[in-house]
Amino acid sequence: MISDRRPDEVLIATDAGAGAVPIWLAPQDNWKTALAHLSPEHIAWLEANGFDGAARKHVLLPGAGGTIEGVVLGIGTPDGASRAVAAATNLGALPPVLASGTYRLGDPAACDPTMAAIAWGLGAYAFRRYKANGTRKGPVLVMPETADAKHAMAAVEGVWLGRDLINTPPNDMGPAELELAVRALAVRHDGTVEAVIGDDLLEKNFPLIHAVGRGSVRAPRLLDLTWGRADALKITLVGKGICFDTGGLDIKPASGMLLMKKDMGGAAAALALAHMIMSAGLDVRLRVLIPAAENAISGSAFRPSDVIRSRAGTTVEIGNTDAEGRLVLADALALADEEAPDHLFTFATLTGAARVALGPDLPPYFCDDEGHASVIAAAGSAVADPVWRLPLTTPYESWLDSNVADMNNVAEGGFAGAVVAAIFLKRFVKKAGTFAHFDIYGWRPAQRVLGPKGGEPQAARAVFEVVRRMVGS
């Protein structure tokens, strides 16, 4: 971890909570009833401070001698089956605003205790590696006794890892540094890593990855991590690892490059999820494929109108060099598909069209298996990591036709950009049991209850819940 604190410094063991300050959750519709155990003086104090139970509004309860006797946190009016999870997510708002000290849930039964721990851990994250005063002492939460501590820590650590990777500036996070992160993860969990680097990509038949990355002085590579029993359920993750994207010869404007350090957000999400799976000890055979490259401009950069043969044997005409993510993913997907995994997931900061359609906080996913798609949607809602399904619209297949190659990497016109990109990827998946593609933004544009502005490995926790359900964990 390269954050200012570690997850185990913001979430501490249950037996370390002597003297911890209680946090009481109060719904907006009946907050006085929920807080009936408090003294009349404290109720009067809450009223004097305008407390009404609104979501994430908090008030400190004074104690003797200037101490804090408790914290009251409004949770709004969550309803339905998600009430316990929705209530718990409000805990994420507290770490940035509470003073240093040790806190605990006053009534763990008032919310989902595991989600409460996760929300606190996600809200406590801060990236201060490059600040002169980089460390800060903040509040800590005692892990609720009824929480699944292993699950909570796996989720928090995974998200922190993903955020760290995305937030790191591109001068310190190129393809080689991304490889180091993959190898560190493998060492931690006793996995194995193979890497194909530079011109070896041509020898090993990864021509699209090579084409995208050959314009940079930082050599492209294909990273391949494996973990778990060989005969267990086969889960394969593919994450787009474009460490910086200029757009290539179809260059982006300056404003379009400002956030391009996050173009490896798909790789970060895949690695975040991998950590969750391995840390939780889920009984799967996990494979993670990261095509890592920079899309740079030089005399050796690939060009519009180039025709490149993919690993799958199909030829691709380059209609736009700024649609490079789907190219590197195509070679990685072809490799993944060769062993026919039971479940194949891709994560990629792939299209601006996805953001136009759904905004930055709700990533779309594509899946043509109805049952699998329903599980994904339900899992995302269950863990407050929402995703939204978009269609793989068959009639749009022809939009990728090329006069000189088997396909183009883009369609003319600009309609349904996210759908077309997903269709392109789907062409490289033939044998996998199920396939789901997540077109993530990889960035939180403003502070939210579950984290600060900055990198975010979206959909990682949602798919973690999917895999947990698959193996009955």
pLDDT per residue as tens, the chain (473 positions)? 444 568 888 998 877 667 899 999 999 999 999 999 999 999 999 999 999 999 999 999 999 888 999 999 999 988 755 788 989 999 999 999 999 999 999 998 999 999 999 999 999 999 988 988 766 778 999 999 999 999 999 999 999 999 999 999 999 999 999 999 999 999 999 999 999 999 999 999 999 999 999 999 999 999 999 999 999 999 999 999 999 999 999 999 999 999 999 999 999 999 999 999 999 999 999 999 999 999 999 999 999 999 999 999 999 999 999 999 999 999 999 999 999 999 999 999 999 999 999 999 999 999 999 999 999 999 999 999 999 999 999 999 999 999 999 999 999 988 999 999 999 999 999 999 999 999 999 999 999 999 999 999 999 999 999 999 999 97
Are the beta carbons of 317 and 236 closer than 8 angstroms? no
The b-or-e profile of 146-180 (16+ CB within 10 A means b, else e) is ebbbebbbbbbbbbbbbbbbbbbebeebbbebbbe
Instruction: HSE, CB side, 13 Å, CA atoms: give it for residue 404.
Output: 11
Where in the chain do CATH 3.40.630.10 domains reside?
Answer: 154-471
Where in the chain do CATH 3.40.220.10 domains reside?
Answer: 7-136
Q: Looking at domain 154-471, what is its CATH homologous superfamily?
A: Zn peptidases (3.40.630.10)
Using DSSP, state whether 205 is helix, strand or coil. coil
| Furthest CA-CA distance within the chain | 81
pTM score: 0.96
Closest CA to 450 of 160, 219, 165, 226: 160
Amino acid at 216: S
Q: Which residue has the tokens 């005399």?
A: 299
Closest CA to 374 of 237, 472, 466: 466
- Which residues neighbour 284 within 8 Å (Cβ) at sequence distance 6 or greater? 228, 229, 232, 233, 234, 235, 277, 467, 470, 471
Lookup: tokens for 276? 């969750």
CB atoms within 10 A of CB 412: 10
Distance CA 424, CA 416 (A): 12
Amino acid at 336: A
Which H or E element spans position 69? strand 68-74
Report, as residue numbers or ranges, the catalytic residues. Answer: 252, 326
Q: How far apart are the first and last CA of the chain?
A: 26
What's the chain's length in residues?
Answer: 473
Using DSSP, state whether 11 is helix, strand or coil. strand
Thinking of the domain 7-136, which architecture would CATH place it in?
Answer: 3-Layer(aba) Sandwich (3.40)
